[in-house]
């Protein structure tokens, strides 16, 4: 059973670092054979959660299963496949198949993180302007939500009430309040939160209070990468004390058409900046090709989002083996070792006049993320360098070595790495 204590999540009384892979289209796009291979592989990489959209993902890749949660009233061609669903009737075969996949997760001891109502199904949201399905009628929300939560309760999921949403209208908020209230009445023991749109922390206060923890996504576009640290910093500055998780750092190898694709180094940067800036309860990884479950030659209709489309994903067979997943597992293990209980982000400390360098500490150590190789000046920490050991971790190779001070300064010599690094200052006993 999950619980929240201060800014961390606990499972069965023990600290639980939320480490999720993003596989939004699992229920609609993945065969059981592929699912078993995928879950086994991610389990070996240390993931303990899988994020899944219960409903049809509007920007998923084309699928061959032809299995949907509701009967299709009308199918047509509109900027890709367009479905009008009959939301008054639940397709039990779809939920039977979904349960078979959740049984596999349970076999591996992994937690499903289920989105109840993605934004494209809700009036007023930014996605409703580009949706490729009809909106969900309000009068059918209760039946669907109660049915889904009753079926999935035995798998001890965490729930995202919303998916990639904003809250521009009262009707939008009304939808999500309804889903939350119904779900909570059916499964009072689960943890609930709201997955909101990229580069945002805007959520109605009444919904923020209902959530057991706060999630944000720092986004998939180059100009907004500072949100990885700016959002948790702002939330903590406003007094938010519950757990915070960046549930969508930039996906590895995602890009707007014609733009540079994010590498595993970019993913590492966003993730480390998040957890050292107040998003201490966990982190999520995403591979461009896994989240939409893309097969070579299949359609991918994300281009319909004006000004926000993504370049074609890699085939999932290739995307599953991107390097960033192992980098993120290393982050999980390292962060749990550094800060098993307490972590204090140093919001007011700006090292080398670079906001991108992030720092956190406990009673015994400082952990500093350095996104590029520099001579690091730690004088603003006000420490006596004679009382601290210096360890440098090259995050590209994961090799560790002793850092060297410049003579008569509190500045470290140029780090012996080519990409990013951690600097760990440990107080001598």
The continuous run of DSSP H or E covering 256 comes out as: none
Q: For position 348, what pLDDT does the model report?
A: 86
The continuous run of DSSP H or E covering 115 comes out as: strand 111-118
3-state secondary structure of 314: coil
Same-domain status, 280 and 411 = no
Q: For position 308, what pLDDT does the model report?
A: 53
Concatenated DSSP letters for 182-221? HHHHH-TTS-EE--B-TT-----HHHHHH-SSEEE---SS
Same-domain status, 334 and 394 = no
Q: For position 166, what pLDDT does the model report?
A: 98
**CATH number of the CATH domain containing 206:** 3.20.20.80
- Tens of pLDDT, residue by residue over 370-387, are 999 899 999 999 999 999
Same-domain status, 219 and 110 = yes
Same-domain status, 271 and 372 = no
Same-domain status, 164 and 223 = yes
Please identify, among 293, 311, 338, the residue that sits at the C-terminal boundary of a domain: 338
The neighbour count for residue 130, using CB atoms within 10 Å, is 18
**CATH number of the CATH domain containing 364:** 2.60.40
78 phi-psi bin (left φ>0, alpha ψ -120 to 50, beta other): beta
Does the pLDDT at position 83 exceed 60?
yes
User: Residues 193, 212: contact at Cβ < 8 Å?
Assistant: yes
- Separation between Cα atoms, residue 70 and residue 18, nearest integer Å: 31
DSSP 400: E
Please identify, among 289, 320, 338, the residue that sits at the C-terminal boundary of a domain: 338
- Tens of pLDDT, residue by residue over 387-396, are 999 999 999 9
**The dihedral of CA 195, 166, 175, 239: what is its sign?**
positive
Q: For position 80, what pLDDT does the model report?
A: 46
> How many domains does the chain divide into?
2
- Separation between Cα atoms, residue 83 and residue 327, nearest integer Å: 39
Same-domain status, 222 and 308 = yes
3-state secondary structure of 253: coil
- Tens of pLDDT, residue by residue over 150-159, are 999 999 999 9
Q: For position 78, what pLDDT does the model report?
A: 45
User: Residues 31, 38: contact at Cβ < 8 Å?
Assistant: no
Same-domain status, 140 and 260 = yes
**pLDDT confidence band for 304 (50 / 70 / 90):** very low
- Roughly what angle, to the nearest 10 degrees, separates helices 141-152 and 92-107? 30
Q: Whose structure tokens read 């023991």?
A: 189
Q: For position 79, what pLDDT does the model report?
A: 44
CA-closest candidate to residue 203, choices 233, 241, 243, 161: 161
What range does the domain containing 92 cover? 2-338
Q: Whose structure tokens read 């990639």?
A: 164
Same-domain status, 310 and 367 = no
Model-level pTM? 0.96
Mean predicted confidence (pLDDT) in 88-112: 98
Q: For position 307, what pLDDT does the model report?
A: 46
- Tens of pLDDT, residue by residue over 220-273, are 999 999 999 999 999 999 999 999 999 999 999 999 877 899 999 999 999 999
- Top pLDDT among 130 and 335 is at 335
Q: For position 302, what pLDDT does the model report?
A: 55
Same-domain status, 327 and 354 = no
Same-domain status, 355 and 300 = no
Mean predicted confidence (pLDDT) in 99-116: 98
Mean pLDDT of the chain: 94
- Tens of pLDDT, residue by residue over 60-81, are 888 878 899 999 987 765 444 5
Q: For position 20, what pLDDT does the model report?
A: 98
Q: For position 140, what pLDDT does the model report?
A: 98
Same-domain status, 221 and 179 = yes
Q: For position 81, what pLDDT does the model report?
A: 57
Same-domain status, 171 and 306 = yes
3-state secondary structure of 284: strand
- Separation between Cα atoms, residue 153 and residue 64, nearest integer Å: 28
Please identify, among 304, 338, 372, the residue that sits at the C-terminal boundary of a domain: 338
Q: For position 297, what pLDDT does the model report?
A: 83
User: Residues 138, 175: contact at Cβ < 8 Å?
Assistant: yes
Q: For position 213, what pLDDT does the model report?
A: 98
Q: For position 352, what pLDDT does the model report?
A: 96
Q: For position 283, what pLDDT does the model report?
A: 98
Among 25-39, 165-179, 298-312, 324-338, which stretch is predicted with the lowest mean pLDDT?
298-312
């Amino acid at each position: 059973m999950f619980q929240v204590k201060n800014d961390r999540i606990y499972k069965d009384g023990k600290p639980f670092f939320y480490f999720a892979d993003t596989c939004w289209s699992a229920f609609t796009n993945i065969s059981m054979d592929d699912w078993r291979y995928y879950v086994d592989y991610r389990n070996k990489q240390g993931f303990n959660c899988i994020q899944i959209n219960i409903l049809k993902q509007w920007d998923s890749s084309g699928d061959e299963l032809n299995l949907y949660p509701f009967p299709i009233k009308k199918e047509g061609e509109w900027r890709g496949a367009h479905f009008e669903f009959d939301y008054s009737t639940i397709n039990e075969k779809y939920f039977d198949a979904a349960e078979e996949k959740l049984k596999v997760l349970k076999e591996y001891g992994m937690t499903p993180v289920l989105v109840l109502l993605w934004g494209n199904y809700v009036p007023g949201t930014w996605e409703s302007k580009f949706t490729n399905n009809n909106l969900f009628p309000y009068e059918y929300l209760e039946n669907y939500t109660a049915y889904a939560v009753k079926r999935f309760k035995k798998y001890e999921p965490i729930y995202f009430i919303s998916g990639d949403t904003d809250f521009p209208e009262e009707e939008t908020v009304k939808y999500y309040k309804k889903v939350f209230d119904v779900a909570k009445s059916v499964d009072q023991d689960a943890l609930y939160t709201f997955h909101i749109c990229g580069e945002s922390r805007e959520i109605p206060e009444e919904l923020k209070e209902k959530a057991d923890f706060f999630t944000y996504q720092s986004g998939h576009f180059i100009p907004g990468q500072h949100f990885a640290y700016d959002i948790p910093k702002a939330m903590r500055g406003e007094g938010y004390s519950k757990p915070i998780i960046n549930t969508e750092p930039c996906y590895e190898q995602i890009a707007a058409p014609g733009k540079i694709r994010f590498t595993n180094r970019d993913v590492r940067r966003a993730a480390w900046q998040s957890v050292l800036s107040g998003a201490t309860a966990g982190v999520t990884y995403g591979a461009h090709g896994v989240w939409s479950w893309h097969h070579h030659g299949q359609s991918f209709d994300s281009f319909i989002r004006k000004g926000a489309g993504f370049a074609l994903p890699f085939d999932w067979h290739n995307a599953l083996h991107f390097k960033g997943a192992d980098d993120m597992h290393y982050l999980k293990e390292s962060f749990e070792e550094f800060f098993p209980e307490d972590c204090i982000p140093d919001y007011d400390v700006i090292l080398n006049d670079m906001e991108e360098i992030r720092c956190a500490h406990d009673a015994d150590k400082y952990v500093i993320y350095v996104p590029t190789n520099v001579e690091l000046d730690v004088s603003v920490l006000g420490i006596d360098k004679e009382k601290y050991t210096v360890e440098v971790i090259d995050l590209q190779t994961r090799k560790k070595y002793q850092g060297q001070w410049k003579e008569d300064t509190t500045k470290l010599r140029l780090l012996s790495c080519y990409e990013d690094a951690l600097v760990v200052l440990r107080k001598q006993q």
